[in-house]
Structure 1
Amino acid sequence: MANHRLVTLSWIFTEKFGLIFLSMITFVVYARLLSPAELGVGTVIIAIVELVGLLYSSVLEDPLVRLEHLEDKHISTAFWAAVLVSLASVVLISLATVLYTPSTVLRWMMAVASVKILFTMMARIYVAQMRRSSNFKMLAKRTLLGKILGGVCGIAVALWGLGAWAVIAQALIMEFVAILVLMYADRRPIAFYIDGPVLLELLKAGAPVAINALSSQTLQRGVTVVLGMTAGANAVGMFNMAMRIIDLPRSAIYNGLMSYALPVFARRSAEPSRLLGIIGDSTAVSGFLLTPLFIGIALTADDLILLIFGAKWAEAIPMLQVLACTAAIGNTAMYATTALVAVNRSHLTIKAEVATTMLALALVYGFGNLYGGMAGALGLLARMLIITPLQIRGLNTAIGYGWRRFLGSNYRSVIASLIMAATVLFVSPRLGFEGYQHLICTIVVGALSYAAAYSVLHPRWPQEFKTVFTAR
């Protein structure tokens, strides 16, 4: 059982860390070949399309994973409903773009990019089945192959000088290849059949999940759109640069952990004590790795951007620092939404999710003209500071995961990260190195100081963390 768990996790993180590596390559190329405005236009278009696809995906995928018995009627209903809604969305988005902008280029970009919704939704059924059966090996293969081919096509388009089309081409090709791989792996025919009661059941179960996911993702993608409206494409490009540096590791790691966590939490939903234990242990392990990672990004933001991406992106440095601190705060309650979905109590935080998202977007809209991309970073930080305690309150109501457990799971990684930050801020200016040597030495100093501080706070952490993957 423990070996199976470790193999499953290894495939999850092969996929996710492979994505980080491949995404970093393409992102560095785009930063060199595209202007901030071109990157901003492509980012806004993909953000709009992904926001629509995310809403539909959340309604269907997680409820299918949670079903005790997944039958053919669930599969056919979800698949064909997704296809029909996706096709309708492509038409509506294309028509809306015609009304919104007179630019023929933007109209074509939006129409082509919206096809991504169809490919994304077709994949949901296959992804849900493979998550249920823990077939993360195939999920990893489809994502990595899609990313490789999408990245190659995107870089080729950028080299041809087609600007924002590179971002659109990468996203579209990646999703298309991924669905082809999934359909080849599972070649069972899906009957053209939509069962009304089954569809209503899925929609009812998925609506709270979709609202929570939409709220969270509306914030990130909505910030991009609102910045484009108030601050212009250059500000969007700068903000996206900072956001991408954070999202590359965060999305890869978070998505991998959540893919594994939901079925694990759901299987323990009838055993509150075991569920509380695994949430606490998972939070402690994740915080041990992720909190210093994001604090470290904030500490090395100058070197990371200036050395890797160039001086033209210097404006993104303070945004990156704010976003990195925001991500570090988010680590402390990263499993809250997944745990609430697992026990079917996600409605407890819907109002908080929606209200804080609207507040953050209002802040971005109000201050976008004045602060540019920094308004987006500050909006995300404000929202994180408000929503985190509300998520803990929801968890406490649902399963009894209160502040004592929250603090017990997080205090070591937070204290050790603060000690690391103080050490780096003191030592870094005195290192006497420049360029990549300075960056590497800063990372080494940070890693050693964090490891020492954490080991003092928790001497038996290797043995206890090992039990997370073997005992429970």
Structure 2
Amino acid sequence: MANHRLVTLLWIFTEKFGLIFLSMITFVVYARLLTPTELGVGTVIIAIVEMVGLLYSSVLEDPLVRAKRLEDRHISTAFWFAVLISLASIVVISLAAMLYTPSPALQWMTAVASVKILFTMMARVYVVQMRRTSNFKRLASRTLLGKIVGGAGGIVVALWGFGAWAVIAQALIMEFVCVLVLMNGDRRRIALCIDGPFLRELLKTGAPVAINTLSTQTLQRGVNVVLGMTAGAHVVGMFNLAMRIIDLPRSAIYNGLMSYALPVFARRSSDPLRLIGIISDSTAISGFLLTPFFLGIALTAEDIVLLIFGAKWADAIPMLQVLAITAAIGNLAMYATTALVAVNHTRVTLKAEVTTTLLALGLVYLLGPTFGGMGAALALLVRMLLITPLQVRGLNTAIGYGWGAFFESGYRSVIASLVMAVTVFSVSPHLALQGFLHLACNIAIGALTYALAYSVLHPRWPQEFKLVFTAR
């Protein structure tokens, strides 16, 4: 059992860290070849399209994964509903672009980008089956291949000088290749039928999950849209670079962990004590790795931006620092939404998710004209400070996960990370080094300090973390 868990996690993170590496390559190329304005235009268009796709995906995917039994008619129902709603959305988005966008180029970009919704939704039933059977090897293969082909296509388009089209081309090609790989690996015949009662139940179960997901994703993608409306595409480009540096590792790691965590939590949903235990253990291990990682990005933000992306992106440095601190705080309750999905209690945080998202977007709208991208970064920080305690309260209501478990799972990584930050902040100005050597030395000092501080707080951490894979 322990070996199976480790192999499963290995495939999950082969996919996710492979994506980080490939995404970073393409993003560095885009940062060199595109202007902030071109990057901002492509980002806003893809953000709008992805918000729609994620809404539909959330309604279908997680409820199907946690279903106790999944029949062929259920698969057919989900697939054809996904296709029909995607085609309708493509038409609506294309018409909206024609009505509200005076530029023919923007109209065409929006219409073409909206096809991504169809490819995304066609893949959902195949992803569900592979998540249910823990076939993460196939999932990793399709994503990595899609990223390689999509990234290469986007870079070619950028080299040809088509600007924002490069971002759209990458997204479309990647999604198309992914769905082809999935269909080739699972050549099932999907009957042309829709089970009305099952579809209604699926939509009823998936709606709260979708609203929660849409709240989070609207925050991430909607910020770019609102910022574009209030501060312009150039500011969006700067903010998007800072956000991408955070989101590339965060999304890859979080998505990998949640893909594994949902079925594990669901199997323990009838035993709240065991579920609380595995949530606490998972949070402690994730915080051990991720809290110092994101705080380290904040500490080395200047070197990262100037050395890798160039001086034209220097305005993104303070935004990156705020966003990295926000991500570090988010580790403290990172499994809350997944745990609530597993026990079918997503409604307990629904109002909080929506309210804090609307508040954050309102702050972006108010602060954007004056503070630009920094206003958006501060809005996300405020939202994280508000939603984290509300998520813990929701977990307490649903399964009895209280503040004691919350502090126990996170305080060591937070204290050790703060010790690391003080040490690096104190030592870094006195290093007689520049460039990549300065960055590498800061990373080494931070890693060593963190390891020592954490070991002092929790001397038996290697043995206890190992037990997570062999117990519960």
Matching residue of 2:28: 28
Structure 2 distance, partners of 1:101, 1:107, is 6
TM-score (norm 1): 1.00
**Amino acid paired to 1:212:** N
Note the C-alpha offset of 1:375: 1.2
Matching residue of 1:333: 333
Matching residue of 2:131: 131
Structure 1 position 388 matched with structure 2 position 388? yes
Structure 2 distance, partners of 1:28, 1:403, is 41
Matching residue of 1:159: 159
Asked if the contact 1:47–1:221 (Cα under 8 Å) also holds between the matched residues in 2, the reply is: yes
Asked if the contact 1:28–1:309 (Cα under 8 Å) also holds between the matched residues in 2, the reply is: yes
Match of 2:251, SS state, is: helix
Matching residue of 1:353: 353
CA deviations on 1:148-175 (whole Å, 9 max, x unpaired) are 0000000000000000000000000000
Matching residue of 2:299: 299
Matching residue of 2:208: 208
Structure 2 distance, partners of 1:90, 1:323, is 32
Structure 1 position 105 matched with structure 2 position 108? no
The within-5 A match list for 1:179-328 is 179-328=179-328
Structure 1 position 415 matched with structure 2 position 415? yes
CA deviations on 1:393-419 (whole Å, 9 max, x unpaired) are 000000010100000000000000000
CA deviations on 1:87-115 (whole Å, 9 max, x unpaired) are 00000000000001121110110011000
Matching residue of 1:79: 79
**Amino acid paired to 1:76:** S
Note the C-alpha offset of 1:301: 0.2
Matching residue of 2:435: 435
Structure 2 distance, partners of 1:453, 1:205, is 44
Note the C-alpha offset of 1:255: 0.1
CA deviations on 1:64-93 (whole Å, 9 max, x unpaired) are 001000111110000000000000000000
Asked if the contact 1:146–1:176 (Cα under 8 Å) also holds between the matched residues in 2, the reply is: yes
CA deviations on 1:326-360 (whole Å, 9 max, x unpaired) are 00000000000000000000000000000000000
Asked if the contact 1:142–1:178 (Cα under 8 Å) also holds between the matched residues in 2, the reply is: yes
Match of 2:114, SS state, is: helix
Match of 1:432, SS state, is: coil
**Amino acid paired to 2:22:** L
Note the C-alpha offset of 1:469: 1.2
Structure 2 distance, partners of 1:456, 1:320, is 30
Structure 1 distance, partners of 2:73, 2:356, is 37
Structure 1 distance, partners of 2:264, 2:433, is 47
Structure 1 distance, partners of 2:148, 2:459, is 41
**Amino acid paired to 2:88:** A
**Amino acid paired to 1:381:** L
**Amino acid paired to 2:154:** G
Structure 2 distance, partners of 1:277, 1:268, is 10
Identity of aligned residues (%): 79
Structure 1 distance, partners of 2:67, 2:226, is 37
**Amino acid paired to 1:271:** D
Matching residue of 1:3: 3
Match of 2:134, SS state, is: coil
Structure 1 distance, partners of 2:155, 2:457, is 46
Note the C-alpha offset of 1:367: 1.0
Give the gaps of 5 or more residues in structure 2: none
**Amino acid paired to 1:459:** P
**Amino acid paired to 2:354:** V
Asked if the contact 1:239–1:319 (Cα under 8 Å) also holds between the matched residues in 2, the reply is: yes
Structure 2 distance, partners of 1:313, 1:438, is 19
Matching residue of 2:143: 143
Structure 1 distance, partners of 2:208, 2:312, is 42
Structure 1 distance, partners of 2:471, 2:400, is 22
**Amino acid paired to 2:336:** A
Structure 1 distance, partners of 2:404, 2:271, is 20
Note the C-alpha offset of 1:35: 0.2
The within-5 A match list for 1:31-46 is 31-46=31-46
Asked if the contact 1:73–1:198 (Cα under 8 Å) also holds between the matched residues in 2, the reply is: no
Paired positions, count = 472
Note the C-alpha offset of 1:55: 0.2
Structure 2 distance, partners of 1:449, 1:316, is 27
Give the gaps of 5 or more residues in structure 1: none
Question: Aligned-pair RMSD on alpha carbons?
Answer: 0.4
